[in-house]
Chains A and B, each alone.
Chain A
Amino acid sequence: MSALKKQIEIVTSEPACEKNQAKSAGERKKGCGKQLTPGAGAGGCAFDGAKIALQPIVDVAHIVHGPIACEGNSWDSRHSFSSGSNLYRTGFTTDMNEFDVIYGGEKRLYKAIREVVEKYDPPAVFVYSTCVSAMIGDDLDAVCKAAKAKFGRPVVPINVPGFTGSKNLGAKLAGEALLEHVIGTEEPDDAGPCDINIIAEFNVAGDLWNVKPLLDRLGIRIRACITGDACYRDIATAHRAKAAMMVCSKAMINVARKMDERWNIPYFEGSFFGISDTSAALRNIASLLVQQGAPADLLPRTEALIAEEEAKVWARLEPYKARVAGKRVLIFTGGVKSWSMLAALKEIGMDIFGTSTRKSTGEDKARIAEIMGTDQHMFDELPPREMYRILKDAQADIMLSGGRSQFVALKAKMPWVEVNQERHVAYAGYDGIVTMVEEIAKSLGSPIWEQVRKPAPWESEEGSACHGDR
């Protein structure tokens, strides 16, 4: 059995993933996520998922070993922010040509790693395989091992060719690579009792920075965010954290569970989207830390901070309430975001028309049904045409979704707000919810809607036998 096969089997039998556990052995073998349908597919490949999950490690050089498509068509398109190095935004690829496909690409890859090390001197190099390099049998592990020995720094193979499956599977395999090659390979010299890991938070548009000041005030240190705004060393020393929070429940559950198993780092699943979720997350972090030996006064201090911040945020939201209250919102996004956003929007008085549940676990779905009070309009799938009809018929007043469906809403002349990884503003934490509500209010209140929906004067005259200008 190939190493990759073994990895896939490991992540698809993840005991902490209840979706996996609900499957029969046969189903589990088929892997995570839906079987992909030719001619009706949507979404990225496993390589895409691995890259999204790991690229936010900012000081690492990420080299894609494949033909130009994999990196050339996609680089510099993700909005994970960095407070330090910008090396992660540099696109590196072996840009394999016909010659490499025929004679093998290992030599080129090795030379590529050398060039990158010589020119950019990164603390570590991540090397991603792709469909073509995997098919021709390039031995990524062997090249990385040789390069590691030669260049005296970690060179980590990420064996996740696109055809392995969905983006989600790719993220999990990326997590396995971190567990195997990075986490626990270095010792910190400053480990403390209030160190936490935040897992599967990618600092999209600076989300993490909305939360970090809160943790700073409590004296809680982020040992490693896996992987948003992280340095290689943060991840390598992550095993010395005392507790962990799992943010995007489906993406890296394997990392959280195994870190608990190997290094006794308990974790909980939570979210920083919305007021009550942010408060709950802070509470959970504090209580896990105390349980792990942090001073007990952390709990009352956390409660005090929550009380203060909640009061502040409600006051800040007050002016928007009248502008958004009663507006019906359609949410089309994945996993944990669906329910945590729902709760947040309910909090400020919006009506939920419907939500997607396509990446949600059973638990996510139960939470959604609870928040909505009904399981009506929970869409596992919502083809663009159907989405367009809902919006065109004005069954909802606004849609929140990823960039992919942006133009479905806009062509229906309906307000739309970006909530996925392509967005440019941070929505996490107490500040984030204010920003999100502000975005929603701005969009709903834009003067353009009335103008663009109004027919041209001659259109309204049509049929009334107008001979005016002719």
Chain B
Amino acid sequence: MATVEQIKKSCAVNPLKMSAPIGAALAFLGIDRCLPLLHGAQGCTAFGLVLFVRHFRETIPLQTTAMNEVTTILGGLENIEQALVNIHKRANPALVGIVSTGLTETKGDDVDGYLKLIRERHPEFAGMEVVYVSTPDFVGGFQDGWGKAVNAMVGRLAQPAAQRSAAQVNILAPCHFTPADIEEMRDMVEAFGLNPIILPDLSGSLDGHVPETFLPHTLGGTKVEDIRRMGASCMTLAFGEQMRAAAETLRLKCDVPCIMFERTTGLDATDRLLHALAQISGQPVPARYRRQRSQLQDAMLDGHFNFGGKRVAVAAEPNLLLELTSFLTDMGASVDVAVAPTASSVLETLPLENVVIGDLEDFENRAGNCDLLVTHSHGRQAAERLGIPLYRAGIPTFDRLGAAAKLSVGYRGMRALIFEIGNLFIEQQEQQHHTQHLRETCHEPQATCACH
């Protein structure tokens, strides 16, 4: 149980937090033939777009209602209507995800009301689903926006079913699942003979592949029809607290029972997942995963030397922070500093004494004695100033290749993390030995340093 400390200051320095609207937009980017539409000024979209382009190294379909001073005051009905007309004409997506911003929420636009009017005026939009989610910039952060968007999608699209499919399960994926994580998750579920509907599915749209055409909406991801069919699943598996609301909606609306998984990285967490899948499917755990479990045990045995006693500082959104700090403590490292950008009930459950709600300045001020920093790419300045290695985790990771291919779920995911982070510790240790050796030889007046 951790005590949560909210840092009191008026100016956030080196923000750790990103806004809820772009978290919601990313959730929509996991839907096939979708175009997220930020209801705000052009910049609201442009900043998110650049951020995702740099992280995923992909074209990102993301549109704007391009609000200006006058339309802000008069209300955004016309802008939303015109945006939908243009989008319908140019992109004809299966789904438009409308995301509100600080601008339109301060004004108080009644988007649900607008959409009713627009639907009446434009029967030609019949084949284009529209889901609206309210995400003021000044409330919560990225993972909250993601959670709200997924909740809005199942709330609007999922249909109660007369008959349940015993082999179909819903997977509600949190925003810290990479495309590679989702692929791993799909493999695990399918290995039990189950058919997963994964929502959102970034592995279809943003896994980094070369499509044969170019279209102004997502190519790949969860199909809108599949979201409708989620009501017919026999079980929902929800990963991370941020997915609880959507899981609850599915339960209340479609009567689909739910299992919550707070964690997905780790031996215990994966055991629990595979055990649940075995029970749902009535199938034994496949030999492949028994082998992977043994491989992970071996990696833990090999790696624990390098983690033991190491001091680590971690800054991340609440759910990812739980995964990372739990992993590190599972391996014997000590998480001396944990910083989250926003409040969440998850924070109290961290396996630590203290967690701080703050920014990367708070992180940097506390991390001076640590052996390793773990946060997104914005931690690079702190790492440079402190002279401490940085392991990049989360969005944005713009200064390294392969953000979409990073794996941390399942046995293989934890093993990959052990190797990546363990190697950083080994490298650091070797450097320290080397510097120490140099220092000792240089201290003797007659000795020359050309001994290497």
Indicate whether A153 reaches chain B with its CB closer than 8 angstroms: no
CB proximity of B317 to chain A, nearest CB, Å? 12
A109 to B12: give the CA distance in the assembly, Å: 11
Among B41, B141, B210, B381, contact of A89 (Cβ-Cβ < 8 Å): B381
Q: Are A73 and B102 touching (Cβ within 8 A)?
A: no
Within 8 A of A (CB), among B33-54: 37, 40-51, 53-54
Q: Are B214 and A68 touching (Cβ within 8 A)?
A: no
Within 8 A of B (CB), among A371-393: 383-385, 388-389, 392
Interface centre among A46, A89, A132 (most CB of B within 10 A): A132
CB proximity of A76 to chain B, nearest CB, Å? 6
Q: Evaluate whether A72 and B139 lie within 8 angstroms (CB atoms) in the complex, with A131-B40, A164-B69 already known.
A: no
Shortest Cβ distance from B80 into A: residue: A38
Indicate whether A17 reaches chain B with its CB closer than 8 angstroms: no
A48 to B44: give the CA distance in the assembly, Å: 10
Interface centre among A36, A40, A68, A392 (most CB of B within 10 A): A68
Q: Are B10 and A45 touching (Cβ within 8 A)?
A: no
Q: Are B19 and A73 touching (Cβ within 8 A)?
A: yes
Shortest Cβ distance from B44 into A: residue: A69
Within 8 A of B (CB), among A118-154: 119, 131-132, 135-136
Q: Are A37 and B86 touching (Cβ within 8 A)?
A: yes
Indicate whether A403 reaches chain B with its CB closer than 8 angstroms: yes
Indicate whether A92 reaches chain B with its CB closer than 8 angstroms: yes
Chain B interface residue bracket vs A: 35 or more
Indicate whether B288 reaches chain A with its CB closer than 8 angstroms: no
Shortest Cβ distance from B215 into A: residue: A385
Q: Are B82 and A97 touching (Cβ within 8 A)?
A: no
A116 to B13: give the CA distance in the assembly, Å: 9
Within 8 A of B (CB), among A65-99: 66-77, 86, 89-98
Which residues of B sit under 8 angstroms from A112, Cβ to Cβ?
10-11
Which residues of B sit under 8 angstroms from A119, Cβ to Cβ?
13
Q: Evaluate whether A38 and B64 lie within 8 angstroms (CB atoms) in the complex, with A111-B10, A112-B11, A162-B44 already known.
A: yes
Within 8 A of A (CB), among B58-88: 58-59, 63-69, 72, 79-80, 82-87
Indicate whether A404 reaches chain B with its CB closer than 8 angstroms: yes
Shortest Cβ distance from A75 into B: residue: B15
CB proximity of B372 to chain A, nearest CB, Å? 21
Q: Are A63 and B11 touching (Cβ within 8 A)?
A: yes
Q: Evaluate whether A165 and B11 lie within 8 angstroms (CB atoms) in the complex, with A69-B101, A74-B51 already known.
A: no
CB proximity of B212 to chain A, nearest CB, Å? 9
Q: Are A407 and B57 touching (Cβ within 8 A)?
A: yes
Which residues of A sit under 8 angstroms from B65, Cβ to Cβ?
38-39
A74 to B72: give the CA distance in the assembly, Å: 23
Within 8 A of B (CB), among A404-434: 404, 406-408, 411-413
CB proximity of B296 to chain A, nearest CB, Å? 33
Q: Are A115 and B72 touching (Cβ within 8 A)?
A: no
Which residues of A sit under 8 angstroms from B378, Cβ to Cβ?
75-76, 91
Q: Evaluate whether A39 and B381 lie within 8 angstroms (CB atoms) in the complex, with A73-B51, A77-B54, A411-B214 already known.
A: no
Q: Are A77 and B83 touching (Cβ within 8 A)?
A: no
Chain A interface residue bracket vs B: 35 or more
Interface centre among B42, B59, B87, B381 (most CB of A within 10 A): B42
Q: Evaluate whether A94 and B12 lie within 8 angstroms (CB atoms) in the complex, with A131-B40, A385-B216 already known.
A: yes
Q: Are B19 and A72 touching (Cβ within 8 A)?
A: yes
CB proximity of B338 to chain A, nearest CB, Å? 19
Among B50, B136, B381, contact of A98 (Cβ-Cβ < 8 Å): B136
Which residues of B sit under 8 angstroms from A113, Cβ to Cβ?
11
Shortest Cβ distance from A5 into B: residue: B69
Q: Are B214 and A385 touching (Cβ within 8 A)?
A: yes
Q: Evaluate whether A72 and B42 lie within 8 angstroms (CB atoms) in the complex, with A38-B65, A38-B83, A111-B11 already known.
A: no
A146 to B106: give the CA distance in the assembly, Å: 27
Indicate whether B116 reaches chain A with its CB closer than 8 angstroms: no
Shortest Cβ distance from B137 into A: residue: A67
Which residues of B sit under 8 angstroms from A447, Cβ to Cβ?
none
Which residues of B sit under 8 angstroms from A69, Cβ to Cβ?
18-19, 21-22, 44, 47, 101-102, 137
Q: Evaluate whether A45 and B46 lie within 8 angstroms (CB atoms) in the complex, with A39-B65, A72-B17, A92-B11 already known.
A: yes
Which residues of A sit under 8 angstroms from B107, Cβ to Cβ?
135
Q: Are A411 and B59 touching (Cβ within 8 A)?
A: yes
Shortest Cβ distance from B78 into A: residue: A38
Among B12, B54, B69, contact of A93 (Cβ-Cβ < 8 Å): B12
Q: Evaluate whether A407 and B59 lie within 8 angstroms (CB atoms) in the complex, with A67-B137, A68-B18, A93-B12 already known.
A: yes
Q: Are A39 and B86 touching (Cβ within 8 A)?
A: yes
Among A39, A89, A115, A161, contact of B10 (Cβ-Cβ < 8 Å): A115
A441 to B87: give the CA distance in the assembly, Å: 39
Indicate whether B419 reaches chain A with its CB closer than 8 angstroms: no
A27 to B67: give the CA distance in the assembly, Å: 19
A47 to B21: give the CA distance in the assembly, Å: 18
Q: Are A166 and B50 touching (Cβ within 8 A)?
A: no
Indicate whether B290 reaches chain A with its CB closer than 8 angstroms: no
Which residues of B sit under 8 angstroms from A94, Cβ to Cβ?
10-12
CB proximity of A35 to chain B, nearest CB, Å? 9
Q: Are B13 and A92 touching (Cβ within 8 A)?
A: yes
Which residues of A sit under 8 angstroms from B68, Cβ to Cβ?
36, 163-165
Among A68, A408, A452, contact of B137 (Cβ-Cβ < 8 Å): A68
Indicate whether B282 reaches chain A with its CB closer than 8 angstroms: no
Within 8 A of B (CB), among A340-360: none
Q: Are A43 and B138 touching (Cβ within 8 A)?
A: no
Among A39, A71, A404, contact of B63 (Cβ-Cβ < 8 Å): A39
Shortest Cβ distance from A389 into B: residue: B214
Which residues of A sit under 8 angstroms from B101, Cβ to Cβ?
69
A115 to B362: give the CA distance in the assembly, Å: 14
Which residues of A sit under 8 angstroms from B66, Cβ to Cβ?
36-39, 41
Q: Are B46 and A43 touching (Cβ within 8 A)?
A: yes
Q: Are B139 and A45 touching (Cβ within 8 A)?
A: no
Additional A-B contact list (19), CB under 8 Å, known A39-B65, A72-B15: A37-B82, A38-B82, A38-B83, A40-B63, A41-B63, A44-B42, A66-B137, A67-B137, A68-B18, A69-B18, A77-B50, A86-B381, A90-B14, A95-B17, A98-B138, A131-B106, A135-B103, A135-B106, A404-B50
Interchain Cβ contacts under 8 Å between A and B, 17 examples: A36-B68, A39-B65, A41-B42, A44-B43, A48-B46, A48-B47, A67-B102, A68-B19, A69-B18, A76-B378, A77-B50, A91-B14, A94-B12, A96-B138, A98-B138, A112-B11, A136-B106
Closest 8 pairs (CB-CB, A-B): A45-B43, A39-B83, A39-B86, A112-B11, A67-B137, A111-B10, A38-B83, A36-B66
